[in-house]
Amino acid sequence: METVKVKPHQCLGDLALQGKGSMQALFDFAVVNNCSITDDLVAGNTLLVPDIAVIDKRIFQQLRDAAVIPANGFTAADEAAMKGGIGYMGIQIDCRVS
Amino acid sequence: MARTINEIQEDIIRQVKASHTLAPLNSTSKTAVWRMWTYIVAVSTWALENLFDQHKVEINTLINEKAPHSLRWYANKAKEFQYGSELLKDEDYYDNTGLTTEQVQERKIIAYSAVTEQSKGLRLKVARVVNGDLNALLPVQLAAFREYMSRIKDAGVNPLHIESKEPDSLKLTLHVYFNPLVLNANGYRLDGTSREQPVRTQVKEYLKNQPFNGTLVLAYLIDALQQVDGVVIPHITQAQARYGDLPYTPFDVKYNPDAGYLRIIDEDDLQIFYLPQSVIK
């Protein structure tokens, strides 16, 4: 089975878009990799690509031609970094008690 | 079965258009905010529908695994056997992590299995495929398979006879009334499109295509021979079969192969006499 390497900030939906041209492949990716559709992926990991045909050839080709790598992964850490504020602070991470 | 994102979105848009209170949402732009929202909702619904599907699959698997072991369970379990793999401890399945699908398929050597109930215990017949045809398991493979079955079988199923035998041998004598415009007196095609005798090939193909542990019915074989171009009347004058070292026994109507399948082992076992016959109107 084909494999794909996860780039930083990519989520499973990005991989579905990049590999099969459509979000419709999201569940196929989740099933072959035995993970949840909302799991945070670790950059550098290798995931399996499901054995199905490209769903939307136009989008698949456009992304490929423009060498665009979709990366919309948004982890809890990213959220805290963007929003900031006391509600998103972690003790001993960005909230030092001295 | 989950609908596609497009189907769901079209459904939502149809509802929006039908609604009087939502009439102000009339922008035809493909990227109109309201249309984007329908897409977002459609994707969420689609995800949920897919989750339901996955859930159903998981529950079905659980139910099937819990079901009492039927004859079909034994037959299916036999096909799951992987030559060269170790079973998980106290389980009846393998851990295939690290193996590719191809490697797993390569290890699954048993292509056909059939289970019959006997007055005492069960009888399990298996066969593998070698060069496109059925064949018996090698002794070393059979030993591994016996160990596998003895580990996973239900307690009390005793004895569990496991067999993988050479095919039963079939002897046939045929009188074929042929159309002299298509075939010659030796059974070969006049136009030379095939080097084999079509009738001989058809008999062998028919035996090959029989279901595993299926019954050979001579009337069905005749029907198959009737399909051969140039054959006017196929007539079976004698049919004999044997298994193991037993002598050949003739049969008139049908034969249930002991090994689960039967073959013409020696070319001379299939005797065909060709008699010219013009087409009967």
Interface pTM (ipTM) of the complex? 0.71
Cα–Cα distances in Å, from B255 out to B4, B215, B218? 51, 6, 8
For residue B235, give how far its alpha carbon lies from the nearest alpha carbon of chain A (Å).
50
Residues of B in contact with A1 (CB under 8 A): 100-101
Calculate mean pLDDT across residues B142-162.
87
Which of the four pLDDT bands, split at 50, 70 and 90, describes residue B153? confident
Global pTM reads: 0.54
Calculate mean pLDDT across residues A61-82.
83
- Dist CA A11 CA B51 (whole Å): 18
CA-based angle B179:B184:B188, to the nearest 5?
110
The confidence score (pLDDT) of residue B209 equals: 86
Calculate mean pLDDT across residues B147-176.
88
Which of the four pLDDT bands, split at 50, 70 and 90, describes residue B56? very high
Residues of B in contact with A24 (CB under 8 A): 4-5, 46
Provide the terminal-to-terminal Cα distance of chain B, rounded to the nearest Å: 54
- Dist CA B67 CA B88 (whole Å): 21
The confidence score (pLDDT) of residue B161 equals: 87
- Dist CA A28 CA A26 (whole Å): 5
- Dist CA B117 CA B43 (whole Å): 51
- pLDDT: is B195 or B31 the higher one? B31
- Dist CA B132 CA B208 (whole Å): 9
Summary mean pLDDT of chain B: 89
- Dist CA B121 CA B157 (whole Å): 6
Q: Which residue of B has its CA nearest to A22?
A: B5
Residue B191, both tokens: 């136009």
The confidence score (pLDDT) of residue A14 equals: 92
Q: What is the pLDDT of residues B205-257, one digit of tens each?
A: 899 888 888 899 999 999 999 989 889 999 999 999 998 888 999 999 999 99
